[in-house]
Amino acid sequence: MKRIFISGGSEGIGWGIAQRFLKSGGYQVGICARNSVRLDELASSNPGLKTWVCDLSDKQSVKKLVESLNSDFGPLDVLVNNGGVFLPGQMHIEEDEVFEKLMATNLFSAYYLSKGVIPPMLRARKGTIVNMCSIASITAYAHGGSYSVSKFGMLGFSKSLREELKPHGIRVISVLPGATFTRSWEGADVPEERMMPAEDIAELVWTACSLGPRTVVEEIVVRPHLGDL
């Protein structure tokens, strides 16, 4: 059976991806999040789901997670770097800590996670890494602040990793979703119908990962039908 691990996989797009791969029956699925109560609830209602508590903004926590993945879960077939946080703002007036937190959570965690699980993929000469970027990776906006910077960085990281791993049989996929209905939109004055369902993004990830090893979808740009918000 194949193995997939999804960071930030307890809700939203991450949980949608986890559900899609659980549904397939061909994958052992692992996720991480900070909320241990939520993870326990998901594990109890989804037999076979493996969970880890991890603060993705903390380097040592991510390093500990990598050690456990490699020793307790086994070599990964798919890594989904999905963990992230959104904080609106403007860089010239926001606190330094906002920039530091967003970069650590949205970008550095993907760097440390990927570096940690790539060696077994190199030995096997196969594997897929999916990096959840954003429309904010290619479109700057006035109140995107450090979030947009972290997502521009995520796309650059993904493109560079693609070139590095291309000769080794490892696929790297960048996913750039627009507005997707998740809990992060709670309280916003935007109707759910104006956004994409997380299940649609999960289906795209599933399809891209299901293609044969000679084929890679390098980038998936997907927006609500009526365009960006």
**Dihedral of the alpha carbons of 147, 153, 154, 156, in degrees to the nearest 10:** 150
Q: Give me the catalytic one of 27, 111, 112, 147.
A: 147
Count the alpha carbons within 13 Å of 162 in the hemisphere toward its beta carbon. 17
Q: Determine contact, residues 17/205, Cβ cutoff 8 Å.
A: yes
Cross-strand partners of 220:
175
111 part of the active site:
no
Q: Which amino acid is at 114?
A: S
The values of phi and psi at residue 228, to 5°, are -65, 150
Residue 98 in contact with residue 87, Cβ under 8 Å? yes
Of 154, 101, 112, whose CA–CA distance to 130 is shortest?
A: 154
State the catalytic residues: 147
